[in-house]
Amino acid sequence: MDELIFFINRVLISGTVLGSIYALGAIGVTLIFGILRFAHFAHGDMMTMGAFIAFVLATAMAAMGIILPLPMAFVVMPVAMVLTAFIALGIDKGFYAPLRARGAKPVTLLIASIGVTLMIQGLIRLIFGSGTQSIFVAGESKDIFRLDMSWAGGSRPINITEPQLIMFVVTALIVVALHFFLTRSRLGKAMRAMADNADLAQVSGINTALVVRVTWVIAGSLACVAGTMLALDVALMPDLAFNIVLPIFAAAIVGGLGHAYGAIVGGFLIAFAETLAVFNWTAVLRPLNAILPEGMALPANLALVPTEYKLTVAFVILVITLLVRPTGIFKGASS
Amino acid sequence: MSAASTPPATGWASPLRRGMLLFAAMFVIVVAVGIIQGTASILLILTQATAFALIALGLNIQWGYGGLFNFAIMGFLMVGGASTVFLSYPVNMAFWQSEGPMMLGRALAAFLVGVALVVLARRVDRIGITGKWRTAIIALAWFAGYVIYRTQIDPAAAYIESTAGFVGGLGLHPVLGWLFGGLVSAVIAFYIGKISLGLRTDYLAIATIGISEILRALIKNMDWLTRGTMTVSPMPWPTPLPQQLQATGMSIPDSFMYARLMFLGIAVLFLVVAFILVQRAYGGPWGRMMRAIRDNHISAGSMGKDVTGRQLELFIFGSILMGIGGAILATFTQIFDPSGYQPINHTFMIWVMVIVGGAGNNWGVVLGAFLIYIVWVISDPLAQLIFLNLSQLTSAIGWGAIPEIDSRALQMRVFVLGVVITIALRYAPKGLIPEVVRRG
């Protein structure tokens, strides 16, 4: 039983946490690619920016002496989402729209988004320094729930933290909301039409400028959610999401660029592949030692990949996907 | 707007006049920085800028000539650095007299067994196994090969790390190490190119960034070969070190100046040779063919050009220059530190150099490399100066001084780089010295 609990703690929970973050980030990347046809490299830094906006708002609330049972950064998240969405719109207007108007190639837009990445990162480090901050500003502690498993014969509990629990709920809500938006609302249908065939969508009278704006609003606010959640789960630092922007791209590509559902699938796929690859299988298979003959005992570490190479797993999956099925699991768009 | 549509261009529109003016301006900047920061300091900046110019020329071959989207520059710089460590770092007797070489030999054998397994598995269609079964067998062979290799390399790595530290070098001349860096980069580029050149723009960029990160993870964690995060230093110089000059009785400032001057001489020699070769290749039939492929690979393909093969050529040639440049950088700083490599400093900055300078124009790329590197270096002290003055102002009006000025000023570099790239893309998308397109 303990082995199973260990597996749940180490693989199921952390895989779901990572998967939620990858999926939320990858939805934004994939929507931008579907509508605007370029790889928006600055998406990771939009996540970090969202987290820092939540941090500033939470600090301001805490300074006013407001203490709530939930983490403050989570409470202020809706406001932070709106702000991040506005900034995303501003970035588009300032940096990408002029290039699009000139008819620049997707490659130029990708390089421009690297420029935006550098500017956001420079600004964040300029204002907040390059150290690590705690987003629990009011001195709240990170609550850990321990599910007692003694009724099932386990000696250790299943551990889950409050931010992780919130994250599961929020991700599920967002995915459902996005599903209804894309399938039921006029705008959502217009977005899907434009992702499918931009020229045809324009000819059939879809307001493409509006669709572009909505895309940035959705991508920006989701980036803010993902960044804040990641900061609540780990810690807040300027390269918070820059480090995971490549797995996010991997998730979006594996799912098929342009497909929102593909991004969710890809996100969880990459996250579980990473977690399973570095998971030490000996911890689960140890009972086998009793059955195995002498001298065949399991080694102390049976992880498929050493922990240092965890992120490499995502890149390997990415490269293999690009080679075997360049447009992803669900057939994605191309630039 | 473009120089191509009005052939008899004059004034600012003439590429030659424009180039000469810009180079003159850069010369003035170099002299000014030299006067403010001292001769030894500007020599340091110039030497590193020369290495970056070499790397930028490499990217220009790939992107400017061929339109290839290589974002794996950091990987090649690391490969160049690691190769030159292997060749030119002094011999580590503790390793050669231990069990280490034997164990590494076994690991190599295991690796070859794995390769043989995969090769055999790929050919099972000859005995009638095709389709999904063949794919499954190939996947299984990969997995088996990986497990076999891991069973040998893990103990070998642990043994070497605990007894000898790391493999050490061969103690050869550093210039040989640079050339070796270029060679290893070429081999790796061949495989990367084989894997990824079938992909298009954005996908190719993301794939190469991923590969570069894989290379970084490998080099950083293969402690037995590269000493990983413990870093290798001091790396030997091809020319006398300042300390050696001091031993002959030279004063300390002079010794730094002369030592760096000699190093700079060798680096510039490499740059000039590479430049002449690259420039000649551009003007010749080979360059014309490459541009034809870049501008319209479909029609070039239909004219009988081997598009993927030629692009692989470009990718390898460019990577050789990147490997050599990376080796020069590591040698010059005397330290090989895998954690010191960052995509921002070692991939994006070089892209900025090429784009700001003018993709496709070698003169422009060299200008861009020197200009951006100098901007990168001086934006830190400049930001510090601004912050110090601002800090005095804010404390004077009672807001208190700005904290952590040093680290904040350092971050301004990244911001400035971002501003430069976005401004350049918007107002001078073809670069400071655009490619000269001759028609007719």
Instruction: With CB atoms and an 8 Å threshold, state whether B408 touches A115.
Output: no
Confidence of residue A7 (pLDDT cuts 50, 70, 90): confident
Confidence of residue A159 (pLDDT cuts 50, 70, 90): confident
Q: Quote the tokens at residue B161.
A: 């790390």
- CA-to-CA distance for A108 and A130, rounded, in angstroms? 29
Domains of chain A plus CATH, in order, are 1-135+158-324 (1.10.3470)
Most confident of A18-22, A100-104, B198-202, B422-426: A18-22
Residue A116 distance to chain B (closest CA, Å)? 6
Instruction: With CB atoms and an 8 Å threshold, state whether A322 touches B199.
Output: yes
Q: Quote the tokens at residue B379.
A: 């934006």
Question: Which one-letter DSSP state was computed for residue A292?
Answer: S
Q: For the segment A227-241, what is each residue's pLDDT rounded down to a tens digit?
A: 999 998 888 888 888
Collect all residues of chain B within an 8 Å Cβ-Cβ radius of residue A318: 206-207, 210
Q: Where are the alpha helices (DSSP H) in chain A?
A: 2-7, 14-36, 43-63, 72-75, 77-91, 97-101, 106-128, 162-184, 186-196, 198-203, 208-233, 245-255, 260-278, 282-285, 310-324
- What is the pLDDT, as a whole number, of residue A223? 94
- What is the pLDDT, as a whole number, of residue B11? 61
pLDDT at residue A50 greater than cutoff 70 = yes
Of the candidate ranges A158-167, A284-293, B161-170, the one whose mean pLDDT is the lowest: A284-293
pLDDT at residue A48 greater than cutoff 80 = yes
Check if B200 contacts A (Cβ < 8 Å).
yes
pLDDT at residue B265 greater than cutoff 90 = yes
- Mean pLDDT score across all residues of chain A: 85
Burial group, residue A78, by CB count within 10 angstroms (0-12, 13-18, 19+): middle
Confidence of residue A140 (pLDDT cuts 50, 70, 90): low
- What is the pLDDT, as a whole number, of residue B115? 93
Q: For the segment B48-62, what is each residue's pLDDT rounded down to a tens digit?
A: 999 999 999 999 999
Instruction: With CB atoms and an 8 Å threshold, state whether A319 touches B200.
Output: no
C-beta of residue B194 within 8 angstroms of C-beta of residue B57? no
State residue B188 phi and psi, 5-degree precision. Answer: -65, -40
Confidence of residue B36 (pLDDT cuts 50, 70, 90): confident
State residue A6 phi and psi, 5-degree precision. Answer: -60, -45
C-beta of residue B117 within 8 angstroms of C-beta of residue B145? yes
Among B403, B418, B426, beta carbon nearest to A98: B426
Q: How far apart are the first and last CA of chain B?
A: 19
- What is the pLDDT, as a whole number, of residue B358? 87
pLDDT at residue B14 greater than cutoff 90 = no
DSSP characters for B355-390?
Answer: HHH-TT-HHHHHHHHHHHHHHHHHHHHHHHHHHHHH
C-beta of residue B310 within 8 angstroms of C-beta of residue B291? no
Check if B402 contacts A (Cβ < 8 Å).
no
- What is the pLDDT, as a whole number, of residue A334? 53
Residue B242 distance to chain A (closest CA, Å)? 34
- What is the pLDDT, as a whole number, of residue B10? 58
Helix (H) or strand (E) holding A146: strand A144-147
- What is the pLDDT, as a whole number, of residue B396? 81
- What is the pLDDT, as a whole number, of residue A333? 58
pLDDT at residue B70 greater than cutoff 80 = yes
Confidence of residue A296 (pLDDT cuts 50, 70, 90): low
pLDDT at residue B153 greater than cutoff 80 = yes
Closest-approach residue (CA) in chain A for B429: A108
- Mean pLDDT score across all residues of chain B: 87
- CA-to-CA distance for A97 and A109, rounded, in angstroms? 10
pLDDT at residue B404 greater than cutoff 90 = no
Collect all residues of chain A within an 8 Å Cβ-Cβ radius of residue B199: 322, 326
Instruction: With CB atoms and an 8 Å threshold, state whether A105 touches B201.
Output: yes
Q: What distances in angstroms separate CA B243 from CA B173, B247, B261, B285, B329, one per listed residue? A: 18, 6, 14, 49, 19
Collect all residues of chain A within an 8 Å Cβ-Cβ radius of residue B203: 253, 322, 326, 334-335
Residue B215 distance to chain A (closest CA, Å)? 9
- What is the pLDDT, as a whole number, of residue B2? 44
- What is the pLDDT, as a whole number, of residue B4? 45
- CA-to-CA distance for A330 and A30, rounded, in angstroms? 12
- The half-sphere exposure of A254 on its side-chain side, counting CA atoms within 13 A, is 26
| For chain A, percent of residues with pLDDT exceeding 70 | 96
pLDDT at residue B211 greater than cutoff 60 = yes
What ipTM, to 2 d.p.? 0.85
Residue B199 distance to chain A (closest CA, Å)? 8
The pTM (predicted TM-score) of the whole model is 0.88
- What is the pLDDT, as a whole number, of residue B161? 85
Closest-approach residue (CA) in chain A for B204: A322
Q: Quote the tokens at residue A304.
A: 């498929």
Positive or negative, the CA dihedral B216, B221, B222, B224 is positive
Mean pLDDT of A251-264: 86
DSSP characters for B292-337?
Answer: HHHH-HHHHHHTT--HHHHHHHHHHHHHHHHHHHHHHHHHHHT-B-
Q: For the segment B220-238, what is each residue's pLDDT rounded down to a tens digit?
A: 888 888 887 788 888 888 8
Collect all residues of chain B within an 8 Å Cβ-Cβ radius of residue A314: 210
Is the link from the previous residue into B234 a cis peptide, with omega within 30 of 0? Answer: yes
Instruction: With CB atoms and an 8 Å threshold, state whether A119 touches B407.
Output: no
Q: Quote the tokens at residue A170.
A: 């929020």
Q: Quote the tokens at residue B328.
A: 């020069």
Instruction: With CB atoms and an 8 Å threshold, state whether B207 touches A319.
Output: yes
Question: Which one-letter DSSP state was computed for residue A135?
Answer: S
Q: For the segment B294-342, what is each residue's pLDDT rounded down to a tens digit?
A: 888 888 888 888 888 888 999 999 999 999 999 999 999 998 988 888 8
Type of residue numbered A281: W
Confidence of residue A335 (pLDDT cuts 50, 70, 90): very low
- What is the pLDDT, as a whole number, of residue B6? 46
- What is the pLDDT, as a whole number, of residue B440? 44
Residue B98 distance to chain A (closest CA, Å)? 25
pLDDT at residue A297 greater than cutoff 70 = no
